[in-house]
Structure 1
Amino acid sequence: MKSILFVLTLLLLSALQASAANTTQTDGTGPASIAELYSDIESFDVTLYSIQPEENLTLEVSLVRPNGNEKVIAVQEFLTGSLPADTRVTKVGFWDVRNPERGAYTLRARLMEQGQVLSESKYDFVYGSYSASRLHVDDLVPNSEGIAIVLSPDQASLFDIEYMLVNGHDVIYETKTEKASLTSVPETFSASWGSLLENNKEYTGRVKFHVYSPGQGFIALTERFTARDDAEITDIYEDETGASATVLGRSQVPFEGNLVFSVYKVQDTSGKGSSMFVESVRERVPVLLTDDDETVEVAWKERLTEGVYRLEIELIGNDGDVIERKETIIESDLSPINESETGPDTGNKTSDEDDGNGITGASIIAGTAGLAMVFAFFKRRH
């Protein structure tokens, strides 16, 4: 009888533990949970946190009108991918609500594993309210380097800015400026991407403001852009022996382009005449990212003789497109005669070279002068 009671007690305790575990997970205190939510009528973000690594949990988000009979406006469901342990991971999504009505809305989010709810939460907001914000966004420009935004204040404000680089639902780079301020005039705030981008791929730049007063409000804006490799020529050097160009990276897409140096001899310096092609040199540019610079040098096959030359330098991008073209002039005063005189030793003899007997003309003159000095010395002695 005692053994039966013991078994029943164990079963009851197991059932209570299982019930407590389900409640804990639903309340968001399990291994993975929803830590933070935000939504407006255009987009949303959900921040997840897990105390242990998780793979491909399911996140379900719904946009709901709670007034009267509850109406589901939109639903999205997607996999979370990898969730590292003890790391906050933010997922972003976008609503496509046509002709939205003014009023109250609710974002509902559920984090699930194989249909079981691990955590759920909601966020309420109002669309089209007449409450004025202290900040106004005048312009938002994301590109391959980073993101910039122009803000103007209605009154002095203190706020945080989150900058996000979004690929699909994933925030692949995020940085934050805390306690920024505006007093009376518009200002530009910006951040550079700290992540490599893929050429010709579309990304989304997102900014989210936390305005401290009144009411701890939030403002979020997004803008899409296509990443491109980019660079510019910042400095040029040229003469009759060769040329160089310094290239500055202007993108987080790795620049793997080339420089092409082309020389043309100018037939008529008035600018109306034609130019005769001399030579062209193509040289690879070392891989560049934003604010990296490298100098590329080339040498002509032969030194440019006397005359005026046009130097054309083309910066070629990853796709073979011409990103930038610059032209300058090379003026050489090196005549063909001077070139031969300063050219390399060809083995031809000069008047001071060996006469074939191993004694040079200069040696004979020096020897004769030495003998004359000796005879003069002895003559004075006698």
Structure 2
Amino acid sequence: MKSILIVLALLLLSAFQVSAANNTQIEGTGPAHIAELYSDLESFDVTIYSTQPEKNLTLETSLIRPGRGSEEVIATQKFLTGSFPANTRVTKVGFWDVRNPKRGAYTLRARLMEQGQVLSESKYEFVYGSNSASRLQVDDLVPNSEGISVVLSPNQASLFDIEYMLVNGHDVIYETKTEKVSLTSVPEAFSASWGTLLENNNEYAGRVKVHVYSPDQGFIVSTERFTVRDDAEITDIYEDETGASATVLGRSQVPFEGSLVFSVYEAKETSGRDSSMFVESVRERVPVLLTDDDETVEVAWKERLTEGVYRLEIELIGNDGDVIERRETIIESDLSPVNESETVPDTGNETSEEDDGNGITGSSVIAGTAGIAMVFAFFKNHNKKSKRP
């Protein structure tokens, strides 16, 4: 009997240790509650869940350094959670600004409130400056207008999940996850594309949260801020004496609503740009593009380019009127002016074949008059012969 009690006591102690390892204690009084927490000395995230639609809730977060008999509140943030639907996990992100941090234990305390009443409270404990080496480390993190890339190096063979977050203010506006990824001995790059539209010239934060499974459950988090831009590139061009075309590829989740400008210059000499003479310019709108979308834009010259060498300049203009890319090429035309017009010089001696207004040309009138005179002469000669004895 005593041995059974000892086993039960060990099981209860083990369960308590697992709970403590998660560093999360949740208390809730309503349908909305804090479901998950994470923090380090750079950033934190709080995941909220509710069984009913919510709005106008307040989230209060505090970074605390425990002490003997007291605690030191290092920083506090308080902000509205906004509206969110029922049965949906909503993640909020914040950033700490801790200067000259000290090694030791810290606590994130989060409270979800409605009109001053605490609906849910949770804590997350972590240690800063621990000597224990992680199985993984982040070597580089690059978010941009298309997506996010991270380079991870393994200190040991590891199995892990990567969570990619696009953060606008406190809101995670896009999130995607790759599960059960492995690294054995060499660094490797991992990437994800943003699956949402972005606002031009707005600042966002790209965040990766790596969940390492063993030997202990742990997280490695890295964040970089960036400003998004509309972006595209010219991938292919075609040109001849009748017109030109350019294929444009989108390279941003900001809707590209720019244009292409095709400008033609006649090259008097092949030695340089200064000897070129402007011929014409055509501006054409590019259909709206997102990442990996492409469209071909075609233009035609007002007149076919006659024989000579021409310089074609193609400019890709962005949403703000800035030149994103400029390409130049040469058009060689062998179309001579004579071949193009097929005209014969006027000497002034040609007989006019123009209509006289009654549907009869001048040559037709002359031919008809000559015929009538011949008939009249024939009958006159015939009458003279018939009067002879």
Determine if the TM-score, normalized by the shorter chain, exceeds 0.5: yes
Q: CA deviation at 1:357?
A: 7.1
Does structure 1 conserve the Cα–Cα contact (< 8 Å) formed by 2:46 and 2:92? Answer: yes
CA distance in 1, matches of 2:30, 2:248: 52
- Correspondences of 1:349-364 after superposition (within 5 Å): none
Q: Which residue number in structure 1 is paired with residue 234 of structure 2?
A: 233
Does structure 1 conserve the Cα–Cα contact (< 8 Å) formed by 2:137 and 2:220? Answer: no
CA distance in 1, matches of 2:270, 2:193: 46
Is 1:105 matched up with 2:106?
A: yes
Q: 1:275-324: CA deviations, max 9, x gaps?
A: 00000000111111111111110000000000000000000111111000
Q: Which residue number in structure 1 is paired with residue 244 of structure 2?
A: 243
CA distance in 2, matches of 1:161, 1:272: 52
Q: Which residue number in structure 2 is paired with residue 378 of structure 1?
A: none
Q: 1:209-234: CA deviations, max 9, x gaps?
A: 00011201101111000011100000
Does structure 2 conserve the Cα–Cα contact (< 8 Å) formed by 1:67 and 1:104? Answer: no
Q: Which residue number in structure 1 is paired with residue 158 of structure 2?
A: 157
Instruction: Name the amino acid aligned to 1:262.
Output: S
Q: Which residue number in structure 2 is paired with residue 39 of structure 1?
A: 39
Does structure 2 conserve the Cα–Cα contact (< 8 Å) formed by 1:142 and 1:148? Answer: yes
- Correspondences of 1:53-132 after superposition (within 5 Å): 53-68=53-68, 69-132=70-133
Instruction: Name the amino acid aligned to 1:277.
Output: F
Is 1:196 matched up with 2:166?
A: no
User: RMSD between aligned alpha carbons?
Assistant: 2.3
Q: Which residue number in structure 2 is paired with residue 221 of structure 1?
A: 222
Q: Which residue number in structure 1 is paired with residue 178 of structure 2?
A: 177
CA distance in 2, matches of 1:86, 1:59: 18
Instruction: Name the amino acid aligned to 2:256.
Output: F
CA distance in 2, matches of 1:215, 1:257: 51
CA distance in 2, matches of 1:128, 1:109: 23
In structure 2, relative to structure 1, the CA distance for the partners of 1:228 and 1:279 (3 Å cut) is same
Instruction: Name the amino acid aligned to 2:116.
Output: G
Q: CA deviation at 1:272?
A: 7.2
CA distance in 2, matches of 1:150, 1:328: 39
Q: Which residue number in structure 1 is paired with residue 268 of structure 2?
A: 267
* SS in structure 2 at match of 1:338: helix
Q: 1:340-360: CA deviations, max 9, x gaps?
A: 139xxxxxx9xxx99x879xx
CA distance in 2, matches of 1:67, 1:186: 40
CA distance in 2, matches of 1:318, 1:110: 43
Does structure 2 conserve the Cα–Cα contact (< 8 Å) formed by 1:162 and 1:207? Answer: yes
Q: 1:131-183: CA deviations, max 9, x gaps?
A: 10111111100111111011111121111001000000000000000011111
Q: 1:257-277: CA deviations, max 9, x gaps?
A: 110000000001244760000
In structure 2, relative to structure 1, the CA distance for the partners of 1:33 and 1:71 (3 Å cut) is same
Q: CA deviation at 1:186?
A: 1.0
In structure 2, relative to structure 1, the CA distance for the partners of 1:219 and 1:273 (3 Å cut) is closer
Count of residue pairs the alignment pairs up: 329
Structure 1 runs of 4+ with >4 Å offset: none
Q: Which residue number in structure 1 is paired with residue 301 of structure 2?
A: 300
Work out which of the two has the higher radius of gyration on C-alpha atoms and give 1 or 2: 2
Q: Which residue number in structure 2 is paired with residue 277 of structure 1?
A: 278
Does structure 2 conserve the Cα–Cα contact (< 8 Å) formed by 1:315 and 1:322? Answer: yes
Give unmatched runs, 5+ long, in structure 2. 1-25, 344-349, 362-389
Q: Which residue number in structure 1 is paired with residue 310 of structure 2?
A: 309
Instruction: Name the amino acid aligned to 1:41.
Output: L
Q: CA deviation at 1:83?
A: 2.1
TM-score (norm 2): 0.81
TM-score (norm 1): 0.82
Does structure 2 conserve the Cα–Cα contact (< 8 Å) formed by 1:230 and 1:255? Answer: yes
CA distance in 1, matches of 2:32, 2:162: 27
Instruction: Name the amino acid aligned to 1:280.
Output: S
Q: Which residue number in structure 2 is paired with residue 136 of structure 1?
A: 137
CA distance in 2, matches of 1:247, 1:191: 23
In structure 2, relative to structure 1, the CA distance for the partners of 1:227 and 1:273 (3 Å cut) is closer
CA distance in 1, matches of 2:271, 2:283: 29
